[in-house]
Amino acid sequence: MTEAIEVYRATENNVKIIGRTHYYNDVRWLALSGSGVEFTFYGRKAQITLKGDAVALTGNNLARIAICVNGVRVIDEQLDRPLATYTVFESDTEQEITVTVIKLSEAAMSTAGIVSITVDAAEGIKPAPASVHKIEFIGDSITCGYGVDDEDGTHSFSTATEDVTKAYAYLTARRLQADYSMVSYSGYGIITGYTENDQKLTTHLLPDYYEKVGKSEGRFDNKLLPQQLSWDFSRFVPDLIVINLGTNDDSYTKDDAVRQAEYAREYAGFLKTVRRCNPHAKILCTLGIMGDRLYPYVEQAVSCYSAETGDNTISTMKFEVQEAADGYASDLHPSPVTHHKAADKLAAHIQKLMKWE
């Protein structure tokens, strides 16, 4: 049997792009949670070479990557070296194969690049088919799947226990058979990041980075910071945008009416940004999984925005607050059980809202 081994780059001609990525120096760079690529081929073997950034050599909060073959995870690794090649599929007979590469950990800590895809397949590789529906999720640690692989609520953050595919947003997209893009950062909010000293943490504001490819300590090819790169919103045009921001703001606003009003005001301002970047998408504003104290101010923000702009394609939905009986992940974050419950509610709500079958 003759081999038909070819090497491919992760270009849009060869792979379906998942989420926000950046192609630089012939490498497809991933920063944000859930970003990646997907391709299909009919053949006998597939290898993927990944590239780490400078963070890979530090041993601290390394990028965690999953590679799935026909929906089954075959590689789950943290990138701890400059280059790593994985044989993800090998068979004596030709088979129809779909390979998915997903960054499980979040942007802020580290990035990873897809250098090459090598296959033994006479017809080569092609992008996986696009889904009918598209959803963008904007959120914080809950959306990232913070600590979901750690069942001890007293443990602190690690990219090793972060898995976006076990979080409510990814699960919702899968249930609705929708393509997705995630823009999520642990500890980030609308007017402040998570704080324990009653002072605003203004370095952790999601609106500051929404129009960027990402925000990270890691650099693409050890040269480009994702936050220096503007995102081209024509590359992923969602039908629906789900926003879940306020859990971290609540650490600052607490029961202070003035601070809560500021959150509502700035939230309405962020909605203007989201709308400018996505003129045709419906927007659904959610809150509640780790506490719902600010939810009335989410409603207020949407009401004020709609009254001012006449834009009535924005709505709200309150999640149920997580229950101790369902367990906790690191730092009292949602457990897998809680994420599944949240996905049940959100997917059902979206089906009605969007009239999706």
* CATH code, domain carrying 232: 3.40.50.1110
CA distance 91 to 232: 39
Contacts of residue 332, defined as CB under 8 A and 6 or more positions apart, other chains included, come to 153, 290
pTM flag (> 0.85): yes
Does 167 lie in the same domain as 110? Answer: no
For the chain, give me the number of helices (H) and strands (E)? 6, 15
Percent of the chain with pLDDT over 90: 96
* Residue 201 shares a structural domain with residue 295: yes
pLDDT value of position 153: 81
- pLDDT confidence of residue 151: 86
What digits encode the pLDDT tens for the residues 93-141? 999 999 999 999 999 999 999 999 999 999 999 999 999 999 999 999 9
Task: Tell me, yes or no, whether 92 and 222 share the same domain.
Answer: no
End-to-end CA distance of the chain: 45
| Same domain for 115 and 177 | no
Q: Helix (H, G, I), strand (E, B), or coil: what is residue 96?
A: strand
pLDDT the model gives residue 3: 78
pLDDT tens for each residue of 35-52: 999 999 999 999 999 999
Q: Does the pLDDT value for residue 2 go beyond 80?
A: no
Last residue of a domain, one of 97, 127, 157: 127
The range of the structural domain enclosing residue 42 comes to 5-127
